[in-house]
Amino acid sequence: MYPRLNQEARIALMQATDEARDLGHSEIGADHVLLGLLANVRGETYSLLTQHGLTFDQARTIVIERHVEATRPASHADDAAEAGADAATELDEDRAALKAIGIDLDKVRDAVRSTFGDDITAGWGERGRGRGRGRGRGGRRGGPGDGRHHHHHPDAERPEDVEGRGGRGRRGPRSERFGDRLPFSPALVEALRGVRREAGADDRERRRGPGGPGMTAPRLLLAISRSGDPAVEAVLGWADDSAALKAAIEEYAAQPTA
Protein backbone atom coordinates (compact mmCIF):
# COMPACT_ATOMS: atom_id res chain seq x y z
CA MET A 1 0.00 0.00 0.00
CA TYR A 2 2.87 2.36 0.81
CA PRO A 3 5.91 1.77 -1.42
CA ARG A 4 7.66 4.83 0.04
CA LEU A 5 8.25 4.75 3.78
CA ASN A 6 10.87 6.85 5.43
CA GLN A 7 13.21 5.08 7.82
CA GLU A 8 11.39 6.06 11.01
CA ALA A 9 8.02 4.94 9.64
CA ARG A 10 9.53 1.65 8.45
CA ILE A 11 11.03 0.97 11.88
CA ALA A 12 7.72 1.83 13.56
CA LEU A 13 5.83 -0.71 11.43
CA MET A 14 8.46 -3.37 12.12
CA GLN A 15 8.14 -2.68 15.84
CA ALA A 16 4.34 -2.70 15.58
CA THR A 17 4.47 -6.15 14.00
CA ASP A 18 6.69 -7.42 16.81
CA GLU A 19 4.40 -5.96 19.48
CA ALA A 20 1.29 -7.52 17.94
CA ARG A 21 3.03 -10.91 17.82
CA ASP A 22 4.38 -10.62 21.36
CA LEU A 23 0.92 -9.83 22.70
CA GLY A 24 -0.65 -12.70 20.77
CA HIS A 25 -2.84 -10.48 18.61
CA SER A 26 -3.95 -11.58 15.16
CA GLU A 27 -3.64 -8.25 13.37
CA ILE A 28 -1.74 -4.99 13.53
CA GLY A 29 -3.87 -2.15 14.83
CA ALA A 30 -3.31 1.54 15.31
CA ASP A 31 -2.44 0.83 18.94
CA HIS A 32 0.45 -1.43 17.91
CA VAL A 33 1.75 1.26 15.55
CA LEU A 34 1.67 3.75 18.42
CA LEU A 35 3.73 1.31 20.47
CA GLY A 36 6.10 0.98 17.52
CA LEU A 37 6.61 4.75 17.42
CA LEU A 38 7.18 4.88 21.17
CA ALA A 39 9.66 1.99 21.02
CA ASN A 40 12.10 3.86 18.77
CA VAL A 41 13.86 6.14 21.23
CA ARG A 42 15.93 7.69 18.44
CA GLY A 43 12.90 8.84 16.48
CA GLU A 44 11.54 12.37 16.34
CA THR A 45 8.04 11.03 16.93
CA TYR A 46 9.20 9.40 20.15
CA SER A 47 10.48 12.80 21.30
CA LEU A 48 7.16 14.48 20.53
CA LEU A 49 5.11 11.87 22.39
CA THR A 50 7.35 11.75 25.45
CA GLN A 51 7.48 15.54 25.66
CA HIS A 52 3.72 15.37 26.23
CA GLY A 53 4.07 12.85 29.06
CA LEU A 54 3.63 9.50 27.30
CA THR A 55 5.89 6.50 27.91
CA PHE A 56 6.23 3.17 26.16
CA ASP A 57 5.59 1.08 29.29
CA GLN A 58 2.47 3.04 30.19
CA ALA A 59 1.14 2.83 26.63
CA ARG A 60 1.79 -0.91 26.44
CA THR A 61 -0.04 -1.55 29.70
CA ILE A 62 -3.06 0.39 28.42
CA VAL A 63 -3.06 -1.52 25.11
CA ILE A 64 -2.93 -4.85 26.95
CA GLU A 65 -5.76 -3.87 29.29
CA ARG A 66 -7.96 -2.69 26.40
CA HIS A 67 -7.51 -5.95 24.53
CA VAL A 68 -8.24 -7.98 27.67
CA GLU A 69 -11.43 -5.97 28.24
CA ALA A 70 -12.49 -6.47 24.62
CA THR A 71 -12.16 -10.26 24.89
CA ARG A 72 -13.47 -10.70 28.44
CA PRO A 73 -16.22 -13.39 28.63
CA ALA A 74 -19.75 -12.67 29.79
CA SER A 75 -20.19 -12.24 33.54
CA HIS A 76 -21.55 -14.96 35.80
CA ALA A 77 -24.67 -12.84 36.25
CA ASP A 78 -25.27 -13.03 32.53
CA ASP A 79 -24.73 -16.80 32.67
CA ALA A 80 -27.25 -17.18 35.48
CA ALA A 81 -29.85 -15.13 33.61
CA GLU A 82 -29.25 -17.15 30.46
CA ALA A 83 -29.53 -20.45 32.36
CA GLY A 84 -32.74 -19.28 34.03
CA ALA A 85 -34.28 -18.32 30.70
CA ASP A 86 -33.30 -21.70 29.22
CA ALA A 87 -34.80 -23.55 32.19
CA ALA A 88 -38.08 -21.64 31.87
CA THR A 89 -38.24 -22.43 28.16
CA GLU A 90 -37.57 -26.12 28.79
CA LEU A 91 -40.22 -26.25 31.52
CA ASP A 92 -42.79 -24.77 29.14
CA GLU A 93 -41.81 -27.37 26.55
CA ASP A 94 -42.18 -30.18 29.12
CA ARG A 95 -45.55 -28.87 30.27
CA ALA A 96 -46.79 -28.72 26.66
CA ALA A 97 -45.51 -32.25 25.93
CA LEU A 98 -47.26 -33.70 29.01
CA LYS A 99 -50.46 -31.84 28.20
CA ALA A 100 -50.42 -33.37 24.73
CA ILE A 101 -50.76 -36.83 26.30
CA GLY A 102 -53.44 -35.76 28.76
CA ILE A 103 -51.32 -34.86 31.79
CA ASP A 104 -51.68 -31.40 33.29
CA LEU A 105 -48.48 -30.78 35.27
CA ASP A 106 -50.01 -27.94 37.28
CA LYS A 107 -53.00 -30.07 38.32
CA VAL A 108 -50.73 -32.96 39.31
CA ARG A 109 -48.62 -30.61 41.41
CA ASP A 110 -51.74 -29.19 43.13
CA ALA A 111 -53.05 -32.69 43.85
CA VAL A 112 -49.76 -33.86 45.35
CA ARG A 113 -49.47 -30.70 47.42
CA SER A 114 -52.98 -31.13 48.85
CA THR A 115 -52.20 -34.72 49.81
CA PHE A 116 -48.60 -34.59 51.01
CA GLY A 117 -48.03 -30.91 51.77
CA ASP A 118 -46.04 -28.13 50.18
CA ASP A 119 -42.50 -29.40 50.78
CA ILE A 120 -42.68 -32.33 48.40
CA THR A 121 -43.48 -30.04 45.46
CA ALA A 122 -41.09 -27.26 46.42
CA GLY A 123 -38.66 -27.98 43.58
CA TRP A 124 -41.23 -28.76 40.91
CA GLY A 125 -41.11 -26.50 37.91
CA GLU A 126 -37.42 -25.74 38.45
CA ARG A 127 -34.52 -27.31 36.60
CA GLY A 128 -31.27 -27.90 38.40
CA ARG A 129 -27.88 -27.51 36.74
CA GLY A 130 -27.58 -31.24 36.25
CA ARG A 131 -30.79 -31.83 34.30
CA GLY A 132 -31.66 -31.84 30.62
CA ARG A 133 -30.05 -29.46 28.14
CA GLY A 134 -29.10 -27.08 30.90
CA ARG A 135 -26.46 -29.51 32.25
CA GLY A 136 -23.51 -27.50 33.42
CA ARG A 137 -24.68 -24.27 31.80
CA GLY A 138 -24.66 -22.27 34.99
CA GLY A 139 -21.14 -23.34 35.80
CA ARG A 140 -19.57 -23.59 32.39
CA ARG A 141 -17.24 -20.72 33.17
CA GLY A 142 -15.10 -20.92 36.22
CA GLY A 143 -15.81 -24.53 37.31
CA PRO A 144 -13.05 -26.86 38.57
CA GLY A 145 -12.68 -28.39 35.13
CA ASP A 146 -12.69 -25.09 33.34
CA GLY A 147 -9.54 -24.61 31.29
CA ARG A 148 -9.83 -20.87 31.94
CA HIS A 149 -7.86 -21.37 35.17
CA HIS A 150 -4.98 -23.02 33.33
CA HIS A 151 -2.06 -20.68 32.82
CA HIS A 152 -2.05 -21.38 29.09
CA HIS A 153 -5.67 -20.32 28.59
CA PRO A 154 -5.90 -16.95 26.76
CA ASP A 155 -8.43 -15.56 29.23
CA ALA A 156 -5.99 -16.22 32.08
CA GLU A 157 -3.59 -13.63 30.68
CA ARG A 158 -3.40 -10.46 32.72
CA PRO A 159 -1.55 -7.22 32.01
CA GLU A 160 1.12 -8.03 34.57
CA ASP A 161 1.71 -11.42 32.89
CA VAL A 162 2.62 -9.74 29.62
CA GLU A 163 4.30 -6.53 30.67
CA GLY A 164 7.58 -8.24 31.42
CA ARG A 165 8.15 -9.04 27.77
CA GLY A 166 8.73 -5.35 27.15
CA GLY A 167 9.43 -3.53 23.94
CA ARG A 168 12.62 -3.19 22.00
CA GLY A 169 12.97 0.59 22.01
CA ARG A 170 16.30 0.44 23.77
CA ARG A 171 17.59 -2.44 21.71
CA GLY A 172 16.32 -1.41 18.30
CA PRO A 173 13.79 -3.24 16.11
CA ARG A 174 13.65 -7.00 16.13
CA SER A 175 11.40 -7.75 13.21
CA GLU A 176 10.48 -11.38 12.64
CA ARG A 177 10.72 -11.01 8.90
CA PHE A 178 10.45 -14.72 8.24
CA GLY A 179 7.33 -15.28 10.32
CA ASP A 180 3.75 -15.14 9.09
CA ARG A 181 2.84 -11.64 8.03
CA LEU A 182 0.12 -10.10 10.18
CA PRO A 183 -2.57 -8.07 8.41
CA PHE A 184 -3.43 -4.48 9.25
CA SER A 185 -6.78 -4.00 10.97
CA PRO A 186 -9.53 -2.51 8.76
CA ALA A 187 -9.61 0.63 10.92
CA LEU A 188 -5.87 1.14 10.51
CA VAL A 189 -6.05 0.61 6.75
CA GLU A 190 -8.82 3.18 6.43
CA ALA A 191 -6.96 5.71 8.57
CA LEU A 192 -3.77 5.26 6.53
CA ARG A 193 -5.68 5.68 3.28
CA GLY A 194 -7.18 8.94 4.48
CA VAL A 195 -3.81 10.38 5.43
CA ARG A 196 -2.28 9.07 2.22
CA ARG A 197 -4.84 10.99 0.17
CA GLU A 198 -4.06 14.16 2.09
CA ALA A 199 -0.34 13.54 1.76
CA GLY A 200 -0.61 13.04 -2.00
CA ALA A 201 -2.48 16.31 -2.41
CA ASP A 202 0.06 18.06 -0.20
CA ASP A 203 2.99 16.67 -2.17
CA ARG A 204 1.45 17.79 -5.46
CA GLU A 205 0.76 21.25 -4.07
CA ARG A 206 4.37 21.53 -2.97
CA ARG A 207 5.42 20.36 -6.47
CA ARG A 208 7.10 17.24 -5.15
CA GLY A 209 5.28 15.08 -7.65
CA PRO A 210 4.96 11.30 -7.35
CA GLY A 211 8.46 11.08 -5.89
CA GLY A 212 7.48 12.91 -2.70
CA PRO A 213 8.32 11.67 0.78
CA GLY A 214 5.37 9.26 0.92
CA MET A 215 4.40 7.86 4.32
CA THR A 216 6.55 9.53 6.94
CA ALA A 217 6.52 8.93 10.69
CA PRO A 218 4.61 12.19 11.33
CA ARG A 219 1.95 11.12 8.82
CA LEU A 220 1.85 7.67 10.38
CA LEU A 221 1.26 9.23 13.80
CA LEU A 222 -1.45 11.45 12.35
CA ALA A 223 -3.21 8.44 10.85
CA ILE A 224 -3.33 6.47 14.08
CA SER A 225 -4.44 9.54 16.06
CA ARG A 226 -7.45 9.77 13.71
CA SER A 227 -8.18 6.04 13.63
CA GLY A 228 -10.73 6.06 16.45
CA ASP A 229 -8.97 3.07 18.01
CA PRO A 230 -10.10 2.95 21.68
CA ALA A 231 -6.66 1.89 22.91
CA VAL A 232 -5.00 4.77 21.04
CA GLU A 233 -7.55 7.20 22.46
CA ALA A 234 -6.89 5.86 25.95
CA VAL A 235 -3.13 6.25 25.55
CA LEU A 236 -3.40 9.78 24.15
CA GLY A 237 -5.77 10.58 27.00
CA TRP A 238 -2.92 9.95 29.44
CA ALA A 239 -0.89 12.83 27.99
CA ASP A 240 -0.32 15.88 30.16
CA ASP A 241 -2.77 17.70 27.87
CA SER A 242 -4.39 15.39 25.31
CA ALA A 243 -5.89 18.25 23.29
CA ALA A 244 -2.49 19.95 23.07
CA LEU A 245 -0.90 16.66 22.01
CA LYS A 246 -3.41 16.11 19.22
CA ALA A 247 -2.89 19.66 18.00
CA ALA A 248 0.87 19.10 18.05
CA ILE A 249 0.43 15.90 16.01
CA GLU A 250 -1.55 17.77 13.35
CA GLU A 251 1.09 20.50 13.20
CA TYR A 252 3.92 17.96 13.17
CA ALA A 253 2.43 16.06 10.23
CA ALA A 254 1.87 19.27 8.25
CA GLN A 255 5.50 20.36 8.44
CA PRO A 256 7.46 20.28 5.15
CA THR A 257 9.64 17.21 4.78
CA ALA A 258 12.64 16.67 2.64
Using pLDDT thresholds of 50, 70 and 90, give the confidence band for residue 206.
Answer: low
Residue 228 lies in a domain: yes
Angle 186-189-191 from CA coordinates, rounded to 5°: 110
What percent of the chain is modeled with pLDDT above 90? 42
Closest of 138, 156, 140 to residue 148, by C-alpha: 156
Alpha carbon distance, N-terminus to C-terminus of the chain: 21
What is the tens place of the pLDDT at every residue in 8-50?
999 999 999 999 999 999 999 999 999 999 999 999 999 999 9
Q: How far is CA 89 from the centre of its chain?
A: 34
Give the H/E segment covering residue 93. Answer: helix 76-100
Q: What phi, psi does 91 have (nearest 5°)?
A: -65, -40
Angle 156-159-163 from CA coordinates, rounded to 5°: 120
pLDDT attached to residue 160: 36
How many C-beta atoms lie closer than 10 Å to residue 223's C-beta?
25
Whether residues 130 and 212 fall in one domain: no
Residue 235 lies in a domain: yes
Structural domain range at position 127: 76-140
Residue 51 lies in a domain: yes
Q: How many domains does the chain have?
A: 2
How many C-beta atoms lie closer than 10 Å to residue 8's C-beta?
20
Using pLDDT thresholds of 50, 70 and 90, give the confidence band for residue 98.
Answer: confident
Whether residues 194 and 250 fall in one domain: yes
Whether residues 112 and 238 fall in one domain: no
pLDDT attached to residue 2: 47
C-alpha span between 63 and 124 (Å, rounded)? 49
Mean pLDDT of the chain: 74
Predicted confidence (pLDDT) at residue 157 exceeds the cutoff of 90: no
Q: What is the pTM of this model?
A: 0.58
Whether residues 81 and 66 fall in one domain: no
Closest of 60, 47, 6, 45 to residue 225, by C-alpha: 45
